[in-house]
Amino acid sequence: MIGGSLGLSLIGRSLASTVVGVGRNPEKLRLAVECGAIHEAAENLADAVDGADLVVLAAHVEAIGGLLKEMLPCLSEGTVVTDVSSTKVKIVRFASELMPPGVYFVGGHPMAGSEQWGVKGADPYLFENAYYILTPLPSTPRFACDRVKAMAEGVGARVIEMVPEEHCPKQSPHVAGYIYFQQRYAAEYVQGIQAAA
């Protein structure tokens, strides 16, 4: 659903010249082309990433490592790879150690979603005003971060950059505190509006 929503938004806003999708289910890929979430479906990961400037891994967190290993030989110099998974520390470290020279990984986590699944639940407005967390390492080149940031901002998200360790509230109590206060005061604001109505 995240990948389909991202594709719909990128294509709908003319932010990407070509959006290529790849997956295990040909029927879902056909549907993704039909609904405009991708321009074309690739038969394999190598074909999907060939010549790409930006690769977005919109897969389950446990699949990311295998996908990274599989695509490595096919990535061109200057390619930036990102993901949309909710965990960051292990993925970012693993990816950064794996990337060949001239290929960069920037962890990403859009704070958006719904109860819908798959491309049928894709929403081109899903990222509007949603936070999109980027977790580059200090060694990540600025241009790589900026490429992912431009994509996220282009689809309407508000980008926050932090190191991977800050992304996990268990490892970073101040992030958990920030979320608590944001939710608390947002709730009070809504209650105030309702009381005034």
Q: Based on the fold, state whether residues 37 and 125 are members of the same structural domain.
A: yes
Give the total number of structural domains in the chain.
2
**169 pLDDT more than 70:** no
pLDDT at 174: 47
- 151 to 29, 110, 182, 197: CA distances (angstroms): 22, 11, 25, 38
Render pLDDT for 38-70 as a digit per residue (tens, 0 to 9): 999 998 999 999 999 999 999 988 999 999 999
Q: Based on the fold, state whether residues 59 and 128 are members of the same structural domain.
A: yes
pTM of the complete model: 0.82
At 27, which CATH number?
Answer: 3.40.50.720
Closest CA to 93 of 85, 108, 105: 105
**130 pLDDT more than 80:** yes
Q: Based on the fold, state whether residues 107 and 189 are members of the same structural domain.
A: no
- 182 to 74, 80, 104, 131, 194: CA distances (angstroms): 42, 32, 32, 12, 18
Q: Based on the fold, state whether residues 13 and 38 are members of the same structural domain.
A: yes
Q: Based on the fold, state whether residues 111 and 49 are members of the same structural domain.
A: yes
| Domain hosting residue 179, numbered range | 165-197
Q: Based on the fold, state whether residues 151 and 102 are members of the same structural domain.
A: yes
* Segment among 11-15, 23-27, 179-183 with least mean pLDDT: 179-183
In DSSP terms, which residues pair with 80 in a beta bridge? 54, 104
